[in-house]
Amino acid sequence: MEALQYPIGKFDPPTEISDAQLKKYIDDIHYLPQLIELAVQNLDEFQLQTPYRPGGWTVAQVVHHLPDSHMNAYIRMKLALTEENPDIKPYEEQLWAELPEVTVTPVNVSITLLYALHKRWVNTFESLTAADWNKTFRHPANGTTQNLKTHAANYSWHGRHHLEHILKLKERMGW
């Protein structure tokens, strides 16, 4: 069951991040909207409403979750860039995935949002100085402090993690 929930493994924050690794994380974030769009483009409504694992979100919920989560990540980065180690605001991602708008909004709306958001996010990443990458924020729910390099690594993983949920489901179902 863990392989279905974490198809690329759990996020393990790297202790050191090279410039080459950082570029890869930014590239992963840059290309995620296109990869998600390609992953779902030929799925019908039944397929979009199929959970990627027993007890898991549907494909549509996964697609809608990505801009929700990544908007929060983008705001967290901007807070870190403009405030001294700010406390960020956690949110109830499971409850967000169950809001009524998720059931009535076509996935292409969230994919369009993801494209626009990721363009802004990547533009911001590419404008950061070496000092900016070391800026931090604090997550009050778990008490951890994260710098922007680790934040980029986390969301590179996050996008690939959810993309694999969709791709592995399609593979298992023969879609």
In a domain, 135, yes or no: yes
In a domain, 118, yes or no: yes
Interior/surface letters 10-19, b for 16+ CB within 10 angstroms, e for the rest: eeeeeeebee
pLDDT at 127 over 90: yes
Global pTM value: 0.96
The number of folded domains in the chain is: 1
Q: Which domain holds residue 87?
A: 42-173
The per-residue pLDDT for range 56-87, each reduced to its tens digit, is 999 999 999 999 999 999 999 999 999 999 99
In a domain, 54, yes or no: yes
In a domain, 107, yes or no: yes
Average pLDDT over every residue of 88-98: 96
Kindly report the CATH number assigned to the domain that includes residue 129.
1.20.120.450
Q: Give CA–CA dist 71/140, Å, rounded.
A: 18
In a domain, 167, yes or no: yes
In a domain, 27, yes or no: no
In a domain, 66, yes or no: yes
In a domain, 17, yes or no: no
